[in-house]
Structure 1
Amino acid sequence: MRIRPRQQLLDLWRAHLRTSFRDDRWVWGGRDGRNSISDAEQLMCLLYPSTELASFALDPDSIATADDIAAVMAVLGEDIWVGGALVTKIEEFFDAYTDADGEPMFAGGSYFRDMGFGEPSAAQRELEVVDSYSMSLSLCIASLRFLRGLQRYLGHEVRREARRMNERVVALIPRVSSRLTSAMIGLIRSFVIHTPPFTSPAGQEILKLVNQTGAPDKNVLADYSAALEQIRVQAENDVRSGHAADIDLRDDNRAFECGWAWGIDTNAGDLTEITSRVATQPGFAVTEPYLYFTLVALDGIKDLYSQRTQEPALLEPHQLQLAESLKRRAELTQRYWSTISRFGTGRWPLEDLPWRTSDGKQSDYFSLAVTAFLIQELLERESTTDLARTVAVLRQLAQRAKIINREVPGDPAALLHYPGVTLTLKVSGAIEPGPLLGYHVSDFATLLLKRSLQAARLARDVDTREQLLDLAAAALEHMQDRAITSGRSAGLWDNLGPDCDAAEASPSWFLTERMMECLVVAHNTYTRPPLATEAMVNAAIGKIGEAEHLLNQELLQVSDAVYSPRFKELAAIQQLLDRAGDVLTKRPHTAEALAANALERLDALAYAREDATR
């Protein structure tokens, strides 16, 4: 299946508006009802592409010049009314998830699941979750980009409705900025460093994970300490906040792992320098990193220090300090998981499928999450080291999840996709007791699609790149098979839920938003220059060099009759070779094709001359 990001994003927008905008009224919620995460995902499906991709911008000037986008957005109106409709939706979101004291709320709500011990209590549903912090962070960045762009346009407008809308934008921006600050604080206080003794069950699980050769524990522990020495030092010096002061993070008798808990760490310290409920409320999550929540936290944090965030100076001074703190935690986390996934000199722990966490759980989803950390680390270093082995892991995971292979009835791999991996959310005793909390994660296929497309940017050889694009195409085909096919939500995701056979199946905004992210990544991947290896460039140079030599020979036999047909043909060939030289290093195969065309035309001239001689 061919990935066509622009058309598929427009189709997603069209289906989104058909579902969300009914009878001139916006309808919030999907399959899982309303909560701070789902509503943010619903908005992000529109705002993220419009602020991440210049060709999808929703400011009035861009809409006026892009006929296809104007046609899709016509349901919201024309000109500034599209912007006005989105401003209204952003206002409604902030009204719904701000308490009476003006404090942002990040409750997991209906995303918390029954683990077989009864429905979560009302108090439990109000617990705040890292998924909401991270999604709100990305939503706030996208909203600020959109609002600032709209504000610049409205500043030149003299119409009364434009002035009124500008007043609403001016009033909304501080509310967005306040939620952004709270989301950043929530992520800082949810970051954890877990250091169980090697004699504990968690320490033993980590030891078994990294010992892929059956070596004596003494040798493995020595190698483990050496591999993580710099990471431990960085943790001790830069990001110790919230960890017990009486524990030495460089203690070789303790294991080490870091990342994000599912909510604010029970040992998190207060951030008293900032006035916010999130900065001082007691923690409730056990000090253990979750791979899923670590993954979503890193995705949100990357929006903070992306180039597009820095250009318009969206962040305030105190937010820049928080962003730097989050960046240090993100770098430490990525470095840790990249190191531990490739630990040792033999088989990687990552290659020993499925990945086992320190609490004894194992799943192919965890393997894919760790692979995602590794790919992101390679992307940031622009390194192809170990890329081939990483691609092999991705392909094996795709086979095990039946994204490449055919699924059979009753196949346990189907559970990866629906209901997905169920995470048990461990809480401390500081909150009101209730039934065990669960959290479903069903984005295996979109995670595979996204990381395959990102890794394709790194590939420096045709075979590796083709493998990654084939994996992406297979994952896209799997997702297309899961799209809703009838009713208002046709074209959104997914059709594996309990109401998939209903006449009006509700969309999963959790999955639809992630599919939107994949299409944005595909768009960015395809806008990069095509693969240009040294071998490809050398092949093109050989053809260009031969053509240049033959052209010079032909020019020796042409008189100064510059208007002769032969001279004009040689001039056209010279243009071909000049163009080939211009694109040589960026598009070597194009340069080779131009040189081949020049060689054919030069051969035709030589043959004609020889024929005339005969």
Structure 2
Amino acid sequence: MKLQPRQQLLELWEAAARASYRDGVWAWGGRDGSNSISDAEQLLCFMYPASELPGFRLDTPDETADDVLAALAVLGDSVEIPKLLLKVIGQYLRTYTADDGRPLFSGGSYFRSVDDETKVTPEQLQLDVVDSFSMSVTLALGTLGFLKVFRQSVRRESIRREIRELEDLASKRLSAAMAGLLRSFTVNAFDPGSTAGRALLRTVNQTGAPVRRVLDDLRRELRPVRAGLRDLTIGSGSQVDLDNENLLFECGWTWGIVKDAPDIVTPLDIGPQPKGVAADTPFLYFTVNALVGIADLFSARTRVLSLLNDDQITLAQAIQRRWDLTQSYWRTIATYGRGTWPLEDIPWRTVDEKESDYYSLGVTAMVVQSLVNNRAADVDLGRVAAVLEELAVRARIIRRAVPGDPPVLMHSPGVPINLHGSDVLGPHLVWVVSDFAITLLKRTIWAASIAQNTRMRERLLALADQIWRHIMLRRHTDGPAAGLWDQPGNVFSDIQVRDEEPSWYFSERVVEFLVSAAASSGEPPLRSPQLVELALQMLGEAEHLLDQELVTRPLVGGQTIQPKLRSIQASLQRARAIVSDRPATAQALINDALLGLERLAAARDSASEAI
């Protein structure tokens, strides 16, 4: 099954529109009910492609593509669709704003009690969670960009007034989400002799080297990260004393606002800042999700449209500092040493001595993101590709599962993450994640996008194609969720649960993947230095032969160059213009030119023999 991002995005839009707009009313919620994250994911199924891909724009009615209008026909025409989006965005922003003006980032129905017989308390349902901060950053930026462009097409004052109100609400939500991310970042320092210290040293020491040598080397490798963390001044994570270089540490995002996290001092209107209860330790899952949302803060689109004001830029810079340090830390840990990487020792072991393939996926995701940012060499990429392939096998994504296969549990019901600290307000909470397959696919396509040679790219694209086939089989085939995700029982016979409603959690991540795939397809093709050199040699020969023809071939009266030679000359000029970027295409043009020149030479020789 060859991936076709545009066609598949259009099919997904058609299914999402059908599931979201029923009997002329927008239907919030899906398989997991309505909450600040699920509803944002539902909106992002539409807003994210419209924001990131020019061919899917909805903010300029006169320029909306015909196939886009056909896919979203249930929502209206090119004028009605953006008006409807205005309406539902307004519903979302107002629903998740408290009476005191504070934007709400609660996990709501996504929270689960560790004991199925104990209900989650109302206070726990209102706890802010990092997933909501991250999703809100992406949604708010997409909304601000959409409103900024759509406003230029609007003349009616009532609509322009609504746009201004939504801009204020979206900007306030964005500011509050950034403050939340700053208050949920954490640095966990510990003694090398502690349980956490021994676990970390055991993870990085893949060669059995003396512990003292590994400890000294690891401290040296992490010195730049330690120095950067010491310089943090606002938000949580800035109170940890890292001056004691004997301590080891880890950094990232916990699941919510850190307990006793200081308020963010800012002139921005973000409403009252809630108290936190989350444990002051990083979680791999929430760290990965935070990094994904944060990247949108300093994307090219955010800069070009000037979506952040000066005070928001100040917060974004503080967040970016944490983003850089976190990626540097986890890449250092995951790729430590000269032999086997800790990342390659699957499953990953956390400092609290828990092991899971899902943890390996989380660390791999951060390493891939770091490689993308730094355009790593294919040597590193090859090792990451091997990890991605093994994870796909172990998770039974590209291998058939047998009855009772434990890895199936990662897909349904999913991997439970204990939310330490949540029990101060009720039962101990867990966060269940079931996005292993789509997260693996997203990282695979990211890695393929930076491959520097054809063989490596083809290897990663082949893996992506296999994973995509698996994910396509998990679509709903009937009911209101037809064409959306997630129905893992279609693939795994052990899973008996059948859901009627879509999982916006999973479907939105499919959208993210398809957008990444579409963006990657717009990149220039890989260029081989050897192919460029060969094309230049061929071009030199062809141009020399053309010069000979121009000198020796007699001209017809009134012409400066024969039409055939003019065509050959144009082909060679085009070949020279593109040879550095598209050497294979240049070779095709040169081959045609050489063939034409050879035919002219052969015709001249035949004429000479006839005389």
Do they fold alike, i.e. is TM over 0.5? yes
CA distance in 1, matches of 2:418, 2:558: 81
- Which has the higher mean CA deviation after the structures are superposed, 118-127 or 38-47? 118-127
- Are 1:377 and 2:347 an aligned pair? no
CA distance in 2, matches of 1:361, 1:501: 28
SS at match of 1:556: helix
CA distance in 2, matches of 1:504, 1:565: 74
Matches within 5 A, 1:112-151: 112-116=111-115, 118-151=118-151
CA distance in 2, matches of 1:62, 1:203: 60
C-alpha spacing 1:8/1:191, structure 2 compared with 1 (3 Å): same
Corresponding letter in the other structure for 2:406: P
Identify which of 572, 576, 580 aligns with 2:567.
572
C-alpha spacing 1:590/1:239, structure 2 compared with 1 (3 Å): farther
Gapped regions of structure 1 (runs ≥ 5): none
Aligned to 2:340: 347
- Are 1:195 and 2:189 an aligned pair? yes
CA distance in 1, matches of 2:78, 2:234: 50
C-alpha spacing 1:279/1:604, structure 2 compared with 1 (3 Å): farther
| CA shift digits 1:135-193 (9 cap, x unpaired) | 11111111111111111221xx2xxxx32211111122111111111111111000000
Give, in angstroms, the shift of residue 40 of structure 1. Answer: 0.5
CA distance in 2, matches of 1:284, 1:450: 32
CA distance in 2, matches of 1:175, 1:300: 19
Corresponding letter in the other structure for 1:387: L
Give, in angstroms, the shift of residue 95 of structure 1. Answer: 2.3
Matches within 5 A, 1:57-456: 57-63=57-63, 65-116=64-115, 118-154=118-154, 157=155, 162-238=156-232, 241-243=235-237, 245=239, 248-273=241-266, 280-384=273-377, 386-427=380-421, 431-432=424-425, 434-456=426-448
Matches within 5 A, 1:15-34: 15-34=15-34
| CA shift digits 1:80-104 (9 cap, x unpaired) | 3211111110111122211121211
Aligned to 1:476: 468
Identify which of 529, 533, 558 aligns with 1:534.
529
CA distance in 2, matches of 1:453, 1:513: 16
- The answer (yes or no) to whether the contact 1:144–1:314 under 8 Å persists in 2 is yes
Corresponding letter in the other structure for 1:419: P
Give, in angstroms, the shift of residue 252 of structure 1. Answer: 3.0
Give, in angstroms, the shift of residue 415 of structure 1. Answer: 2.0
Give, in angstroms, the shift of residue 128 of structure 1. Answer: 1.2
Corresponding letter in the other structure for 1:291: L
- The answer (yes or no) to whether the contact 2:184–2:256 under 8 Å persists in 1 is yes
C-alpha spacing 1:365/1:501, structure 2 compared with 1 (3 Å): closer
Corresponding letter in the other structure for 1:128: D
SS at match of 2:511: helix
- The answer (yes or no) to whether the contact 2:36–2:106 under 8 Å persists in 1 is yes
Corresponding letter in the other structure for 1:282: K
Q: Percent of aligned positions with the same letter in both sequences? A: 44
- The answer (yes or no) to whether the contact 1:272–1:280 under 8 Å persists in 2 is no
- Which has the higher mean CA deviation after the structures are superposed, 287-296 or 416-425? 416-425
CA distance in 2, matches of 1:493, 1:189: 33
Give, in angstroms, the shift of residue 272 of structure 1. Answer: 4.0
Aligned to 1:515: 510
CA distance in 2, matches of 1:233, 1:35: 39
- The answer (yes or no) to whether the contact 2:487–2:498 under 8 Å persists in 1 is no
Give, in angstroms, the shift of residue 427 of structure 1. Answer: 0.6
TM-score scaled to structure 2, two decimals? 0.94
| CA shift digits 1:330-385 (9 cap, x unpaired) | 01101111111111111110111111111112222221221221222222222326
| CA shift digits 1:520-539 (9 cap, x unpaired) | 10111011111112112112
- Which has the higher mean CA deviation after the structures are superposed, 90-99 or 519-528? 90-99
C-alpha spacing 1:243/1:502, structure 2 compared with 1 (3 Å): closer
- The answer (yes or no) to whether the contact 1:259–1:294 under 8 Å persists in 2 is yes
- The answer (yes or no) to whether the contact 1:270–1:279 under 8 Å persists in 2 is no
- Are 1:545 and 2:544 an aligned pair? no
| CA shift digits 1:27-61 (9 cap, x unpaired) | 11100011110001001111111111121111243
- The answer (yes or no) to whether the contact 2:235–2:263 under 8 Å persists in 1 is no
Aligned to 1:47: 47
Corresponding letter in the other structure for 1:450: K
C-alpha spacing 1:367/1:231, structure 2 compared with 1 (3 Å): same
- The answer (yes or no) to whether the contact 2:59–2:147 under 8 Å persists in 1 is no
Aligned to 2:553: 558
Corresponding letter in the other structure for 1:200: S
Give, in angstroms, the shift of residue 277 of structure 1. Answer: 7.3
CA distance in 2, matches of 1:435, 1:390: 39
Aligned residues: 604
- The answer (yes or no) to whether the contact 1:562–1:568 under 8 Å persists in 2 is no
RMSD: 2.3
C-alpha spacing 1:302/1:239, structure 2 compared with 1 (3 Å): farther
- Which has the higher mean CA deviation after the structures are superposed, 385-394 or 306-315? 385-394
- The answer (yes or no) to whether the contact 2:250–2:329 under 8 Å persists in 1 is yes
CA distance in 2, matches of 1:563, 1:475: 64
Corresponding letter in the other structure for 1:198: P
C-alpha spacing 1:611/1:365, structure 2 compared with 1 (3 Å): farther
CA distance in 2, matches of 1:503, 1:377: 38
- Which has the higher mean CA deviation after the structures are superposed, 278-287 or 587-596? 278-287
Aligned to 1:458: 450
Give, in angstroms, the shift of residue 264 of structure 1. Answer: 0.8
- The answer (yes or no) to whether the contact 1:134–1:300 under 8 Å persists in 2 is yes
Corresponding letter in the other structure for 1:295: V
CA distance in 2, matches of 1:591, 1:173: 49
C-alpha spacing 1:252/1:562, structure 2 compared with 1 (3 Å): farther
Give, in angstroms, the shift of residue 605 of structure 1. Answer: 2.6
- The answer (yes or no) to whether the contact 2:105–2:133 under 8 Å persists in 1 is yes
Corresponding letter in the other structure for 1:570: L
C-alpha spacing 1:332/1:582, structure 2 compared with 1 (3 Å): same
C-alpha spacing 1:497/1:111, structure 2 compared with 1 (3 Å): farther
